[in-house]
Structure 1
Amino acid sequence: MSAVNAATARAVRPAELPRTRRAPLTAIPGGAERRGRRLDIVRAPLHSKSRVPFFVLCATLMIVSLVAVLVLNTTLARGSYEMAHLQGEVAQTAQDVQGLQEDLRAAETELPDKARSLGMVPAENPTMVSIRTGKVVKGVVKGTDE
């Protein structure tokens, strides 16, 4: 140690500090006299509540929310796949309907030719039966000027 440090260390020591006189202690009225003893036992401060239940609650909420998001995501993905499958079926059905409509138009145009080839002739005065009334009704052939 250097001489400066030794002098500083000695100056800080309480044994070497000059003693000062303190005022004598006096009792405050209603203080220790009232209680009958000079020192009272002080109750230890109450321990704060444990934070473990709070952390358990937070962890539970996080886990439940993550599971809910996972279930929601899975459900939406399954719905998306089902929707894509159903859209494919709708497209296939639309193509089938369009093909059948083309077949029907072709059959309508071929019908008069097939009827003539079978020896059929157009009816001059067709008669029909009304389903509602059950009576025979005379009709007019489409395309004639009667």
Structure 2
Amino acid sequence: MSALRAPAVLPARRGEPTPRRAPLRALDGGAGRRLDAVRAPLQATSGVPFMVLCALVLAGALLAALLLNTHMARGSYEMSRLQREAGLVAQDVQEVQADLRSAEASLPDQAARLGMVPAEDVTMFSVVDGKIVPEPVEEP
């Protein structure tokens, strides 16, 4: 089959005879095959829809990147604020621990000023078991 374009036939005007075309014949060496006219391949369609689709995909990707960047920046600011707040809380905890250590160190002096004396034999009573803990040690 041939893919060559057939010449366009113009429609005849009224009153004019239509030109007769000679039937197609096979060339020499064609083994007696008859040639038929074939339709020309379809013309390529416009590339505009494809370009519009590509532009939409590109615009969508850019919009998605913008939204992702905005969200990540907002998260970064929130994270830095929370880290700063955690640092302040850690400083407060250290100050309270330092105050507690100083209060523990000054506790014996304050007790002596109030007239308190250290206990000689310390025993405790367990409410759960109903026993004295630890058992008093008897000296021989």
Q: Same fold (TM over 0.5)?
A: yes
> How far 1:138 moved relative to its partner?
3.0
The residue number in structure 2 matching 1:56 is 52
> How far 1:91 moved relative to its partner?
0.9
Q: 1:67 aligns with which of 63, 68, 76?
A: 63
The residue number in structure 2 matching 1:115 is 111
Q: 2:89 aligns with which of 90, 93, 96?
A: 93
Seen in structure 2, the aligned counterparts of structure 1 residues 28 and 137 have a Cα distance that, compared at 3 Å, is closer
> Structure 1 length as normaliser, TM-score?
0.62
Alpha-carbon distance in 2 for matches of 1:44, 1:27: 19
> Structure 2 length as normaliser, TM-score?
0.64
Seen in structure 2, the aligned counterparts of structure 1 residues 28 and 100 have a Cα distance that, compared at 3 Å, is closer
Aligned-pair RMSD on alpha carbons? Answer: 3.0
Contact conserved, 1:125 with 1:138, CA < 8 A, in 2?
Answer: no
> Deviations along 1:44-91, whole A, 9 cap, x unmatched?
652212212211221111111101111111111111101110111111
SS at match of 2:120: coil
Alpha-carbon distance in 1 for matches of 2:66, 2:109: 65
Alpha-carbon distance in 1 for matches of 2:56, 2:26: 55
More helix by share: 1
Is 1:125 aligned with 2:121?
Answer: yes
Contact conserved, 1:128 with 1:137, CA < 8 A, in 2?
Answer: yes
Alpha-carbon distance in 2 for matches of 1:74, 1:92: 28
Percent identity for Structure 1 against Structure 2: 54
The residue number in structure 2 matching 1:135 is 131
Alpha-carbon distance in 2 for matches of 1:28, 1:86: 88
The residue number in structure 1 matching 2:3 is none
SS at match of 1:49: coil
Contact conserved, 1:127 with 1:137, CA < 8 A, in 2?
Answer: yes
Alpha-carbon distance in 2 for matches of 1:139, 1:97: 39
Contact conserved, 1:125 with 1:139, CA < 8 A, in 2?
Answer: no
For structure 2, list consecutive stretches of 5 or more residues without a partner in the other structure: 1-21, 28-33
